[in-house]
Amino acid sequence: MPELPDVAVYVESLERRVVGQSLERVRLISPFVLRTAVPPLATIEGRRVVSVHRLGKRIVLALEGEYFVVLHLMIAGRLRWLGRGDRAPAHMTLALFDFDGGTLAFTEAGTKKRASLHIVHGATALAAFDLGGLEVAAADLPTFRERLQRENHTLKRALTDPRLFSGIGNAYSDEILHRARLSPIALTQKLGTEEIARLHQATRDVLAEWTSRLRAEAGEGFPTHVTAFRPQMAVHGRFGQPCPVCAAPVQRIVYAENETNYCARCQTGGVILADRALSRLLKSSWPRSIDELG
């Protein structure tokens, strides 16, 4: 799922292309993607785009008259910018937004159809999409600490809870926790003062660094390689590969459709965390420490 850095660069790229332009037409290719009936699509056609902004992991196009187009990419949704005469991707396109300078294509790979489009009117209606997550870049340490310890969860769960923190998902939570040298299963209310400060700084740094990196990668073009798995990442998606800090093999915990990647030596004192499925299967053969893998 595209997270804060990717969504932020999408927003910046759209700002350069559509702010001040009129949304000439909306072509709904896959009707399921539209999750609202009121106001109708025809209401927003011909309206000028006032601004584009991020709301958590959602992208919001604000139109004159307090109308808002809210896009949630979910796991496989992506945006593409098409010039005049460019063809939309076959079998993937959900909707097309035509502007004078080009067309925004809203696409989704796969068959699960989770991406969504909402059309809403008024600030109150838009506010319903704000889950209340803290924007860490603008938060000082006391504010971050209060939000982190508001509930007693594992760090992985807390960082990825959109009610607690905005824009952080599976990929960047792994990178943040590795940078902070903290276990993904450490409990928020048991962290010490220095650990919380380390986590606060790591969260700010990782999100800022990746946003800058993706911004530079896109340049003046439109982002085309939006993925949760990048070779420059320290641990996410790098199971079995060497940690860039200590060279120990990256470990993982698999659950449902997600996995947590971490370095046992850097983050858990050498302890390999139990993977429910594998540790149950291997039982006594399950390695307890990174040294047993050697």
Which CATH number belongs to the domain containing residue 156 in this structure? 1.10.8.50
95 and 142 in a common domain: no
Q: Which of 15-29, 78-92, 163-177, 186-200 has the lowest mean pLDDT?
A: 78-92
| Alpha carbons 12 and 175: distance in angstroms, whole number | 23
Are 84 and 179 part of one and the same domain? no
Q: Please tell me the predicted confidence (pLDDT) of residue 289.
A: 52
- Same-domain check for residues 122 and 149: no
CB atoms within 10 A of CB 287: 15
DSSP state string for 215-264: HHHHTTS------S--TT-SSTT-TTSBPTTT-PBPEEEEETTEEEEE-H
DSSP H or E run through 193: helix 193-218
Task: Tell me how far the alpha carbon of residue 211 is from its chain's centroid.
Answer: 11
The boundaries of the domain holding residue 77 are: 4-127
Same domain for 288 and 161:
yes
pLDDT, tens digit, 9 for 90 and up, residues 90-118: 889 999 999 999 999 999 998 888 999 99
Domain finish residue from 100, 127, 154? 127
Same-domain status, 143 and 119: no
Question: 107, 127, 147 — which closes off a domain?
Answer: 127
- Residue 59, token pair as written in the block: 């992208």
Tell me: do 83 and 158 sit in the same domain: no
Residue (of 188, 193, 135) closest to 166 by Cα position: 135
**Last-in-domain residue among 127, 157, 179:** 127
Q: Per-residue pLDDT tens for 217-229?
A: 999 999 999 998 9
Domain count, the chain: 2
CATH code for the domain of 97: 3.20.190.10
User: Structure pTM?
Assistant: 0.92
195-212 average pLDDT score: 98
Rg, C-alpha atoms of the chain: 21
The pLDDT of residue 110 is 83
pLDDT tens digits, 8-63? 999 999 999 999 999 999 999 999 999 999 999 999 999 999 999 999 999 999 99
